[in-house]
Amino acid sequence: MPITFDAQSRTFHLHNDQASYLLRVLENGTLGHLYYGGPLAQAGSYGRLSGREFLGFSNRLGEPVALEYPTAGIGDYRVPALVVEQPDGSTALDPRFVSHRVFAGKPAIPGLPSTYVQDYVEAETLEILLVDTPANLEVRLFFTIYSDRPVVTRSARLRNVGSAPLKVECAMSATLDLPDAEWELVHLSGAWARERHVRTRRLEVGSQAIGSLRGASGHQHNPFLLLKRASTTEESGEAYGLSLVYSGNFLAEAEVDPFETTRLRIGINPEGFSWSLESGAEFCTPEAILAYSEAGLGALSDAYHGLYRDRLARGVWRDAPRPIVINNWEATYFDFDEARLLEIATAAQGLGIEMFVLDDGWFGRRDNDNSSLGDWTADRAKLPSGIEGFGRQIEALGLRFGIWIEPEMVSQRSQLYADHADWAIGVPSRPHTEGRNQLVLDMSRHEVVDHLFGVLSDLLGRAPISYVKWDMNRNITEPFSPSLPAHRQGEFFHRYVLGLYELYERLTRAFPQVLFESCAGGGGRFDPGMLPFAPQAWTSDNTDAVERLRIQWGTSLCYPVSAMAAHVSAVPNHQTGRMTPLATRAAVAFFGVLGYELDPGALNDVERQEVADQIAYYKARRELFLHGRLVRLRSPFAGDGNETAWMTVSPDSRRAVVGHYRVLNRPNRGPSRLRLRGLDPRAPYRVSVWPVGEDPVSTANTGIRGGDELMRVGLLVASEDPVESRSVGDFTARLFDLEAQEAPRRRGRA
């Protein structure tokens, strides 16, 4: 059983062979945290772990008490998990243990996405009921441990059992108290076109936090952080991860107190948030996913990848091979008609592409970004036979058909705005802040969600649409909903996200065959909350191969390759102006859900053949790229960032593809070797190189090589010949294909 309870010491132990999580009901009924880390013997004594009673004023005690769900106002001056204003205006809170239950499986969270089990035996859940009697508040904490993953999922449910309303001002999904502060904090931060770059800094006394107040998780910070030791590498050492299954305003924070202990917390950002909890009402927090590794960042990412790919993403597209799309955005922007699109689609079909995606500009009168959002009917001037007729023409070419939409938005120049100006978010007495010439619809209102469901389900029901790219190009300003009374305006942002999830839920249920891809001006809402609805996301508007190395590397710390849509685009690149070889662009995009975003008609014959070969190469290995284990080998964030390498390995280690990328070629640099990981040391592998060439690197690596040799000696990734290296150039990539062969039989054995 993964969860045991020792009644005498009132200690709970969630465990499997990868991790242990221990908590104890302290003498006074407070819930103390004992330990999260590598597995501890089930029958062990935990007497030496901190677990003494919390007496208040922990900032004056030598050893601050570790707590599971700390509250404000009772002497623990570190950042709290829970703050609730009571009818008399006070906020001190001290919930005490009442009861617990342990059950097989894992419950869903009403209205919110969460990880799940397919079979009850996959996980066990501990539910603990705490009650604060003076406040009439029940706090239910949920802890789930999967039998074969080093993760613990957490969420909290609050219930007002009194007769007067309570006001929730902060309700974190989880906190985690750690006994020391010798950690580096790693988070994923950036901006449009440079999302999720890896940032690393030492923890210091005080608080260090990332978050969002935009109404979406945002380009700037991702709802994920990890702690690592300074010595932790990809392959070894300790690390903790904290990730939030949520798409709105979040806070992820590490606080180090003067005694060098660390408190982590993650949840809905308390800034600007409050929730009126009426008598009998419940409030559920989003789910936090805690992961632990003592085998480096690689194992930490493995834990998130497996869970998010297999038990957060849902539906037929979770496991089905994702189609290779051609998207017309960078080929045409708003300037297209049916003939032009059919030309692109026809050429794409000839190359082996499987789906045509019609991006922005097909509806209303949308010739630029100034109008028509909200009017989801085809512009007959561009598409005379409507979206249905055009979709049928695409299907007649042998392609599937997908569309771009941006449901949460409205243009002031649109019929929807003329009919329902009050549906746009804004404070009536203030001007709207502009963002891409559009306003955001008030998704906290049921009638808005109902309207969008009606319009979109009609569209998806009528036209042969197999894929939807759901964009969201601006963040919320002037947050306010006229449908909420003044004392409930603090609920607005969270209610927006609940409305968004409801719309996604209804659409994905009604159209289970449709593949949804989430997008937000590139990767501005690339978070776990989207994955149950849209198993893949547009990773970034930046399609430059060199830039994508860093974006995809950073993203991979938490998210699986199957979540990262990656397109080969034209050169000069539209975001950087850089000219990279076609092979390099493909070799980067292969480590994602491959697509193309260019005009295939503009390619010459050699390039067309190259693209056809790329597509054939990817199709033959699609499962390996999308569901293999990603092993990061050389970081673009290390040193001068000139080299990146990663590989994908099949679950049985029989197949692998290694990608090695060099930004600038440096003359006379001597031999360079890349040691691989995750192979079977006893298996001989046939190594082939892509693109196929006669150069020294290809010749030196091609052939049969032992798994042990590949891991201990490595592949040659730079020519030893200074003259040869002249012909290589900048922005190069090479893929090494590894296929295990039957081991030669030893002589004298049967």
Task: Please report, as ranges, the residues that interact with ligand DGJ according to CB under 6 A.
Answer: 329, 359-360, 404, 471, 473, 519, 521-522, 538, 541
Q: How far is the CB of 609 from ligand DGJ (least distance, A)?
A: 27
The continuous run of DSSP H or E covering 609 comes out as helix 605-620
Q: DSSP letter for 17, please.
A: S
Q: How far is the CB of 360 from ligand DGJ (least distance, A)?
A: 3
Question: How far is it, in rounded angstroms, from Cα 167 to Cα 422?
Answer: 28
Nearer to ligand DGJ among residue 274 and residue 328 (C-beta):
328
Active-site residue, 471 included: yes
Residue in 177, 257, 541, 544 annotated catalytic: 541
Residue type at 740?
A: A
Residue in 76, 471, 599, 737 annotated catalytic: 471
| Count of CB atoms situated within 10 Å of the CB of 169 | 17
Q: Which residue is nearest to ligand DGJ (CB)?
A: 360
Nearer to ligand DGJ among residue 363 and residue 590 (C-beta):
363
Question: How far is it, in rounded angstroms, from Cα 682 to Cα 706?
Answer: 7
Q: How far is the CB of 106 from ligand DGJ (least distance, A)?
A: 34
Find tokens 């802040």 and name the residue: 433
Q: How far is the CB of 436 from ligand DGJ (least distance, A)?
A: 8
Nearer to ligand DGJ among residue 565 and residue 735 (C-beta):
565
Residue type at 605?
A: D
Q: How far is the CB of 211 from ligand DGJ (least distance, A)?
A: 23
Active-site residue, 458 included: no
Q: How far is the CB of 471 from ligand DGJ (least distance, A)?
A: 5
Interstrand relation of 151-160 and 287-293 (parallel, antiparallel or unpaired): antiparallel
* Short-list 251, 206, 270, 226, CA closest to 77: 206
697 exposed, middle or buried (CB, 10 Å; 0-12, 13-18, 19+)?
A: buried
DSSP track, 126-149: EEEEEEETTTTEEEEEEEEEETTS
Nearer to ligand DGJ among residue 97 and residue 417 (C-beta):
417
Nearer to ligand DGJ among residue 128 and residue 358 (C-beta):
358
Contact between 318 and 348 under an 8 Å Cβ cutoff? The reply is: no
Q: DSSP letter for 116, please.
A: -
Q: How far is the CB of 379 from ligand DGJ (least distance, A)?
A: 15
**Secondary structure string (H, E, C) spanning 687-706:** EEEECCCCCHHHHHHCEEEE
Nearer to ligand DGJ among residue 303 and residue 519 (C-beta):
519
Give the bridge partners for 129, in sequence order. Answer: 99, 140
Q: Which parts of 382-535 are beta strand (E)?
A: 400-405, 409-410, 439-440, 467-470, 515-518
Contact between 655 and 739 under an 8 Å Cβ cutoff? The reply is: yes
Q: How far is the CB of 286 from ligand DGJ (least distance, A)?
A: 25
Contact between 159 and 49 under an 8 Å Cβ cutoff? The reply is: no
Contact between 155 and 286 under an 8 Å Cβ cutoff? The reply is: yes
∠ at Cα 26 (21, 30), nearest 5°?
A: 95
Question: How far is it, in rounded angstroms, from Cα 306 to Cα 148?
Answer: 11
Rounded (to 5) percent helix, strand, coil in the chain: 20, 35, 45
Nearer to ligand DGJ among residue 359 and residue 610 (C-beta):
359
Nearer to ligand DGJ among residue 67 and residue 357 (C-beta):
357
Nearer to ligand DGJ among residue 33 and residue 469 (C-beta):
469
The continuous run of DSSP H or E covering 508 comes out as helix 492-510
Give the bridge partners for 37, in sequence order. Answer: 20
Q: How far is the CB of 441 from ligand DGJ (least distance, A)?
A: 17
List, as own/partner pairs, every contact residues 719-725 make where C-beta atoms lie below 8 angstroms and the sequence separation is at least 24, other chains included.
Answer: 719/671, 719/695, 720/670, 720/671, 720/696, 721/696, 722/667, 722/668, 724/695, 724/696, 725/665, 725/667, 725/668, 725/669
∠ at Cα 383 (382, 384), nearest 5°?
A: 110
Phi, psi of 664 (to 5 degrees): -110, 140
Q: How far is the CB of 216 from ligand DGJ (least distance, A)?
A: 13
Contact between 696 and 721 under an 8 Å Cβ cutoff? The reply is: yes
Nearer to ligand DGJ among residue 234 and residue 471 (C-beta):
471
Nearer to ligand DGJ among residue 68 and residue 406 (C-beta):
406
Nearer to ligand DGJ among residue 522 and residue 678 (C-beta):
522
Q: How far is the CB of 650 from ligand DGJ (least distance, A)?
A: 31
Q: How far is the CB of 366 from ligand DGJ (least distance, A)?
A: 9
Find tokens 């969460």 and name the residue: 114
∠ at Cα 383 (339, 347), nearest 5°?
A: 30
Contact between 383 and 338 under an 8 Å Cβ cutoff? The reply is: yes
457's tokens: 């389900």
Residues annotated as catalytic are 471, 541
